[in-house]
Structure 1
Amino acid sequence: MGTMEIATGENEKAKLNKYALACAIVASLINTIFGYDTGVISGANIFIKEDLKLKDTQIEVLAGTLNLCALVGSALSGRTSDMIGRRYTIVVASVIFMVGAVLMGFSPNFAILMTGRCIAGVGVGFSLMIAPVYSTEISSSSHRGALSSLPELCISIGILLGYISNFAFSKLPLKLGWRMMLGIAAIPSIGLALGILWLPESPRWLAMQGRLKDAKEVLLLVSDSKEEAESRFSDIKVAAGIDEKCNEDVVTPAKTASGAGVWKELLIRPTPTVRRIILAAWGIHFFQHLTGIEAVVLYSPRIFKKAGVMDKQKLLLATIGVGVTKAIFILVATFNLDKFGRRRLMLTSVLGVTTALTVLGFSLTMVHFSTRQLYWALCLSIISTYKYVAFFSIGLSTVTWVYTAEIFPLRLRAQGASIGVAINRAMNAAISMSFISIYEALTIGGAFFMFAGFGALAALFFYFFMPETKGKALEEIEMLFTPGGSKARHGTTEEEL
């Protein structure tokens, strides 16, 4: 298989290409809008419930609808991005978000609000797949972790902006406040839809279309040297089924990017290598939400209220702390993914999350069964919530999307990642739409003990089924999952030990 991406000397750090960074940042901004929609509903639902006279079950449905409808978007996103390209798929997601935000902002009743939330959910399905895939495909192996984690960083920034919006607009009249919280997301959606047209298309998608000249031109822009661009171009041609020595501008590749036949290779007759990739990629998405992140992000005001914080403004301020913690530690992960690797951060994350959930479950249980306010349990609940968010952010939050976008072979990447998004959103919807019912049945402390148990199971899964991909070229990663193809399959490399 051609020459892999040019490596720098053992002790020399490869430079980050500024153009590639700019492209990844702009593409990732679509996830800021999704993060905003996720964060803003946690506070907005307090005012929506009061204004529209809703029941708890309706609030559960409202919170979970975004993710349930994302299943539709994720089902369409893979094939769409294979057909029209990664760049125009981001435009489609932006337009869908804009329509959903406008409907939510002007909704006169619960039915219209739900319609807008559903439409925004479809946009979520598109954005969660396409932003990491685009960032992954324009990145060099030495900085792929950092650039591919930018979409998750943008989600956390969006969530924080949503929490701040809750606090800022909560002072407006009831009927106006929550509508402003939800509707203002339409403004950045319009700007992003226009701005994304200035980005280049993914060179890997261009190669799958047989547009070799265009692919090479993009690689020259996102690589640090002509030699690196040539090396990456050679590997991409091999992955696309094109002769490595081919110098034509336009060819007909053996493997096209239309998506034809991909479902069969993924779901009906996968090879042993693809089966291992599927288990790792889709398993990560399955376990991510079993650790309860949606319960914390969407219902943090309720958690703090159960712990003893009663004032609305204080509840929203405590929730802002969740958003700040999430943003800070995702930023930490972004700078360290290519240093410490995916596997090490993920295992550290899930062990920390499990510990924090256990402490949170204990403190909330003590509050539940106490006849008086326990100040120490209130403080412990807030600290363990922040600790949970911090540990979740350094691994489960960031590595999930980076890992899924990079381990699938080029021909299967978009649709394989889209199924991962569908699983992710299904689990997300299941937790967000059932959390109130779960904690009413088990007590809120019992619910977090349950999530801690799932965290322990997740740690076992990641330990046995997640090989390290740090520093590997995209076209090389497939070998990690090939039986006998890598000594690092069930562990880290000697360098990482």
Structure 2
Amino acid sequence: MADREAKTNAISGQPQKITMDFDPPKKPKINKYAFTCALLATMTSVLLGYDIGVMSGALIYIKDDLKISDIQVEILAGIINLYSLIGSWAAGRTSDWIGRRYTILVAQAIFFAGAILMGFATNYAFLMVGRFVAGIGVGYACMIAPVYTAEISPASTRGFLTSFFEVFVNVGILLGYVSNYVCSKLPKHFGWRVMLGVGAVPAVILASVIIWMPESPRWLVMQGRLGDAKRVLDKTSDSVEEAQIRLADIKEAAGIPENLTDDVVQVPKHSHGEGVWKELILHPTPPVRHILIACVGIHFFQQSSGIDSVVLYSPRIFEKAGITSSNDKLLATVAVGFTKTTFILVATFLFDKIGRRPLILSSVAGMIFSLATLGFGLTVIDHSDQKITWAVGLSVAMLLAFVAFFSIGMGPSPVVYSSEIFPLRLRAQGTSMGMAANRLTSGVITMTFISLYKGISIGGSFFLYAGVALVSWVFFYFVLPETRGRTLEDMEGLFGNFKWNFPKKKNNIKEVSNGSNGPNANGQVQLGSR
């Protein structure tokens, strides 16, 4: 608090210092313990990214080695997303039974088995079995990592920490691209098997470190282990006061009376997940219905913009753009991976500074422009009998611009947003529904891209994606409220109507340890900005 010399003491004649209680406090530093836990948990998304990236190059050699058709290529590329639906669905239940941390270990074990099977595949059918197992592991990882991170993070840095999930997806994609380039020097029948089998290595490394992570405090409360939850919250909160507030909010959400302070208490039956699907789908309240629409919608539109088609089939797109050398195409894909990784890192620092909503809307606007321009460039090339240098350059630049715009907002937003908006009792299953919509849409998009561009041309495909992105911008504007700085237990109050677009200051909800309105630990009034 700032000191002000405002008036003179009537008796002594000396200036009297008045303490002003209205200066906003300094923003807390990043909690190192929470940061480490989030970093380790979200590194599991490397598995998904590596599979996407490595398959883009491996498909070139698999097609030649196993003599498969373009339809089989599409199925092989996209089917893992459909298989991951099983993992996403199962992870919601598993995480409520055995905890968030051990569910992450299950994800590593399953993906490890899938990578080994793919690496030793002798034919197309064997390879599809490996894809099935790996897909279940990917589904587990995609669902549980953001849930764990959101539940362990303090409100002030939750967006920053949860966005690590997408950061490591992009790191995995980049590693997959690099693996493609390195292994391309190996014999054709051996190289693609090494590309796919190497995915088992990060699974082993991650499993060995995740075992040392603490359990989610919210899951501990759901099991009645209040003492363990308090110890974790004390380590992962920005202050002792925030830890107490978080624990009280979680106990209230779990149906535990606030005056119960024993280490182990009896938790009401509904806190273990019974009746969740009924409350989510059959008889949702208006806020829950709004939350579910927002969650499924943001995941659907993320993938329907065609990002996985660009990442997975980038060698084919570069070939259509006029780059014919296999070596040059693989190098160009590395540039795509590098661009995605760079801009996703920028996004992580913006989520808790400018908010989710501005990032999403500006990101999608850039995607619309770059997709439409990319479609124009590819159409010009497609209708020309000779190489047009400016059109090639424009197409490559717009492809990189698209992944940049995507990564700076739309890339990490679905995971960050969907993992924080559900009430505690619905979080695991609700998040799994969003991830299921994500993987289902990705599967449909990637399994139809080759057929799509053969049917309506490569340029027409990207015009279509641009149209979908335009529809998504309208959806986001009217459906997604801002969640920056809100505690997880406050989220339900933001949803239930669509009149929040221009909120009045008096409706602001108290933020925890983030320079927000409301009394601090000393009873002083803090004025925050939004």
Which TM-score applies when normalising by structure 1? Answer: 0.96
Cα distance in 2 for partners of 1:304, 1:493 equals 49
Cα distance in 2 for partners of 1:459, 1:450 equals 15
Q: How does 1:390-429 map to 2 (within 5 A)?
A: 390-429=404-443
Cα distance in 2 for partners of 1:97, 1:200 equals 22
Instruction: Note if contact 2:248-2:258 (Cα within 8 Å) is conserved in structure 1.
Output: yes
AA at the equivalent of 2:305 = T
Q: How does 1:454-473 map to 2 (within 5 A)?
A: 454-473=468-487
Question: Where do 5+ consecutive residues of structure 2 fail to align?
Answer: 1-21, 506-527
Q: Secondary structure at the match of 2:483?
A: coil
Residue 101 (structure 2) aligned to one of 81, 84, 87: 87
- Give the number of aligned pairs: 487
Q: How does 1:245-324 map to 2 (within 5 A)?
A: 245-254=259-268, 256-324=270-338
Deviation string for 1:153-173 (max 9, x for gaps)? 000000000000000010011
User: Is 2:65 aligned against 1:35?
Assistant: no
* Identical counterparts, % of pairs: 54
User: Is 2:205 aligned against 1:191?
Assistant: yes
1:142 Cα deviation after fit:
0.4
Residue 225 (structure 1) aligned to one of 208, 215, 239: 239
In structure 2, the partner of 1:4 is: none
In structure 2, the partner of 1:216 is: 230
1:242 Cα deviation after fit:
1.0
Q: How does 1:57-96 map to 2 (within 5 A)?
A: 57-96=71-110
User: Is 2:349 aligned against 1:335?
Assistant: yes
Deviation string for 1:226-246 (max 9, x for gaps)? 222112111111111111222
Q: Which has the larger radius of gyration?
A: 2
Cα distance in 2 for partners of 1:38, 1:235 equals 39
In structure 2, the partner of 1:490 is: 501
1:496 Cα deviation after fit:
8.0
Cα distance in 1 for partners of 2:411, 2:282 equals 30
Note closer, same or farther for the CA distance 1:496–1:349 as it changes in structure 2 (3 Å cut). Answer: farther
Deviation string for 1:412-470 (max 9, x for gaps)? 00000001111111100000000000000000000000000000000000000000000
Cα distance in 2 for partners of 1:280, 1:463 equals 11
Q: Secondary structure at the match of 2:244?
A: helix
1:385 Cα deviation after fit:
0.4
Cα distance in 1 for partners of 2:503, 2:306 equals 28
Cα distance in 1 for partners of 2:264, 2:45 equals 33
Instruction: Note if contact 1:83-1:257 (Cα within 8 Å) is conserved in structure 2.
Output: no
Instruction: Note if contact 1:208-1:255 (Cα within 8 Å) is conserved in structure 2.
Output: no
In structure 1, the partner of 2:162 is: 148
1:256 Cα deviation after fit:
4.6
Deviation string for 1:338-379 (max 9, x for gaps)? 001000000011110011000000000000000101111111
Cα distance in 2 for partners of 1:496, 1:279 equals 29
Cα distance in 1 for partners of 2:496, 2:155 equals 20
In structure 1, the partner of 2:221 is: 207
1:259 Cα deviation after fit:
1.8
In structure 1, the partner of 2:7 is: none
Instruction: Note if contact 1:357-1:388 (Cα within 8 Å) is conserved in structure 2.
Output: yes
In structure 2, the partner of 1:99 is: 113
AA at the equivalent of 1:339 = K
Question: What value does the CA root-mean-square deviation take over the aligned residues?
Answer: 1.5
1:258 Cα deviation after fit:
2.9
Note closer, same or farther for the CA distance 1:94–1:138 as it changes in structure 2 (3 Å cut). Answer: same
Cα distance in 2 for partners of 1:105, 1:148 equals 31
User: Is 2:457 aligned against 1:443?
Assistant: yes
Which TM-score applies when normalising by structure 2? Answer: 0.90
By percentage of residues, which structure has more helix?
1
Cα distance in 1 for partners of 2:383, 2:24 equals 58
Instruction: Note if contact 2:255-2:271 (Cα within 8 Å) is conserved in structure 1.
Output: no
Question: Where do 5+ consecutive residues of structure 1 fail to align?
Answer: 1-7
AA at the equivalent of 1:193 = A
1:394 Cα deviation after fit:
1.2
In structure 2, the partner of 1:3 is: none
Cα distance in 2 for partners of 1:483, 1:310 equals 52
